[in-house]
Amino acid sequence: MNEDLIFTNARIVTDAEVFTGSLHVVGDRIVSLAKGPSRAAGAIDCDGDYLIPGLVELHTDNLEKHFTPRPGVRWHSRSACLSHDAQMAAAGVTTVFDAVSIGDMIEGSARQANLEAMIHTLGAVADQGWFRAEHRLHLRCEVSSQNILDSFNSFVTDPRVGIVSLMDHTPGQRQFVHEDKYREYYMGKYGFNAEQMEAFTKKQQEASALYADPHRRAIASACQGRDLILATHDDATIDHVEEAAGLGIHFSEFPTTVEAAKESHKRGMKVLMGAPNLVRGGSHSGNVSALELARHQCLDVLSSDYVPASLIHAAFLLHHGELALDLPAALAMVAKNPAEVAGLGDRGSIDVGKRADLVRVIDTGDMPVVRGVWRQGRRVS
């Protein structure tokens, strides 16, 4: 059991307000909040910095970059996991669903070669208590892959799996409606020439026609009755959203149009978008911007996706930018809302009885700077 932990002179951000005061932690839980300073000996003086809830990340590909830091380079598995973990914690993330892709579009890719090592090592390092953040798994299922069901069945029984998403990156639809963006992405990533790119595109379109629909239905059906959250990926049309609703989808990741995002809301699905999209000012795939969805009040959750530090940065941009969201509403998109989507009612907000997952932040005006991170009352960064 941790010793008592008291913060004072902090601008505390709750669900409803921001106030300057003190916060008391016993063990791993918040036991009291008070306006005004604390006189307790040993209290941490936050010097007017914000104290916000630990961030909850539902979808990040960041782990893969540490396993393959350069093309053809496979890094030491535990070192890769710990480096990724340190980066997430330093960004204020205290709960992370590591998104691992199964059924990759490129046969024999480093992503697939690393898959078993990533999942095994994440579990081993977590069991040994070495992680700063709490790590869970998000299985990203490429439904157009011929062997996706075998891979899915191999990993879905892992107790750390909490989210399963259904995705199809075939050109001409969803994320890659704009085929020029598809060519730009894959030719840049894999070094294809024009002839290779044409052959690759044709192969992916044929595979999608054969496998995408039956695999999507099979995986969704397999998730029913399990304690799993199901996501749809890159929905672009009303038909996509109707299909997702029929499959029992809980939330929509990265819808590519306002139309799809609005329909998802009508169907009771929360909408997640990438924080890098918001920080950069637009989608790298040429699709709808996260800010545009926020304008239409159909943005619920932000994900750091491929840049861990973007998560807290995007929340403060929503606060300072044109929408001028109040800080509790902006931070809900990176803490309370994702926690609720994932069914984690014990975290995501600052309140008595909640886990003491806390982040001390100074707002520079240009961007927020994380100055300290605590998970369950223990300092981790």
* Residue-wise pLDDT tens digits, 319-355: 999 999 999 999 999 999 999 999 999 999 999 999 9
Place of tokens 């010793």: 3
- Give me 95's structure tokens: 């709960």
Q: What CA dihedral angle connects 51, 57, 63 and 66, to 10 degrees? A: -30
**CA atoms 135, 359, 319, 340: torsion sign:** positive
Looking at mean pLDDT, say which of 166-180, 187-201, 209-223 comes out highest.
209-223
In three-state secondary structure terms, 371 is strand
Strand partners for 13: 18
Q: Out of 100-114, 157-171, 196-210, 214-228, pick the least confident.
A: 100-114
The predicted model gives 157-173 an average pLDDT of 85
* Residue-wise pLDDT tens digits, 56-107: 999 999 999 999 898 788 899 999 999 999 999 999 999 999 999 887 655 5
* Residue-wise pLDDT tens digits, 23-37: 999 999 999 999 999
- pLDDT for 364 equals 95
Pairwise CA distance, residues 178 & 201, whole Å: 13
- pLDDT for 195 equals 77
Pairwise CA distance, residues 319 & 66, whole Å: 31
CATH number of 54-349: 3.20.20.140
In three-state secondary structure terms, 249 is coil
Helix axes 194-223, 148-155, angle to 10 degrees: 50
- pLDDT for 103 equals 76
Percent of the chain's residues with pLDDT above 70: 90
Q: What CA dihedral angle connects 148, 152, 153 and 157, to 10 degrees? A: 180
Look at residue 318 and tell me whether its pLDDT is greater than 90.
yes
Look at residue 379 and tell me whether its pLDDT is greater than 70.
yes
Could you tell me whether strands 229-233 and 50-53 are parallel, antiparallel, or unpaired per DSSP bridges? unpaired
Q: Are 58 and 301 in contact (CB under 8 A)?
A: yes
pLDDT band for 209, please (50, 70, 90 cuts).
confident
Given phi > 0 = left and psi -120 to 50 = alpha, else beta, which region is 141?
beta
